[in-house]
Amino acid sequence: MKTILQVVLGIVAIVLAYLFIDSMMEPIRFNNAVEHRKSLVIQRLKDIRDLEVAYKDRYGRFTGSFDTLVGFYKFDSLKIVKQVGSWDDSLAVAKKLVYTDTIRIAVKDTLFRKYADFQIDSLPRVPIVGEQFELSALMFPSISNVDIPLFEARTHDKVYLKGLDLQSVVNLVDEHQSMNKYPGLKVGSITQPNNNAGNWE
């Protein structure tokens, strides 16, 4: 009987030790998961920014439509100014061998070529959770009477961290709000010009 009691107590001690260690590891696992998701979301927001900037270079404004942005990537083109020769070469300039030429290149042949497996149709979606980013664009009135094009793409903490420990996510949201920060990740701003910066930068 004494031996059985010792075995049971040993098992209980092991279980309690496991539960204690597991509870200590939970915040570490949560933080690791947050950092992993955060890195994926930030990269996606940077890609959205790159495409928005290219769109603005072409049309003079940003777009608040992912359909427009995706269509721009798939079917539109950008002007590329190519210089032949060097303006510092006075002999070549005198012989009119130096000039610039404007050509058009498909957007999909210029942007995101660094990715071997880039999928434009996934651009609007928050990585892992699959929900769509919020996207807005407007012309911001300035004191010089020249409207400034602005855009903003964002996702809330509760969206991109969906599926993780709910209380930990709520605590993170409260922490961001207490610091007067947007509780999530975003790039650009539609309330004031910020040079299209991300709130992680």
One DSSP character per residue, 158-193 reads HHHTTTS-HHHHHHHHHHHHHTT--SEEEEE-SSS-
Per the prediction, the chain carries an average pLDDT of 86
* Paired tokens of 188: 């650009």
CA gap 136, 7 in Å, rounded? 64
pLDDT digits (tens, 9 = 90+) for 82-122: 777 776 777 766 777 777 778 888 889 888 887 878 899 99
| Least confident interval from 10-24, 38-52, 117-131, 137-151 | 10-24
For 129, left (φ over 0), alpha (ψ -120 to 50), or beta?
alpha
State how far the Cα of 22 lies from the Cα of 50, in Å rounded to an integer. 42
Tokens of 150: 């602005």
Domain ranges, ordered by start, for the chain: 34-75+113-188
99: helix, coil or strand? strand
**What span, in angstroms and rounded, lies between the C-alpha atoms of 138 and 151?**
6
pLDDT digits (tens, 9 = 90+) for 139-197: 998 877 889 999 999 999 999 999 999 999 999 999 999 999 999 999 999 998 999 99
Q: What are phi and psi of 77, to 5 degrees?
A: -140, 165
Residue whose token pair is 């009135």:
141
Q: Are 37 and 57 in contact (CB under 8 A)?
A: no
The identity of residue 136, as a single letter, is S
pTM of the model: 0.81
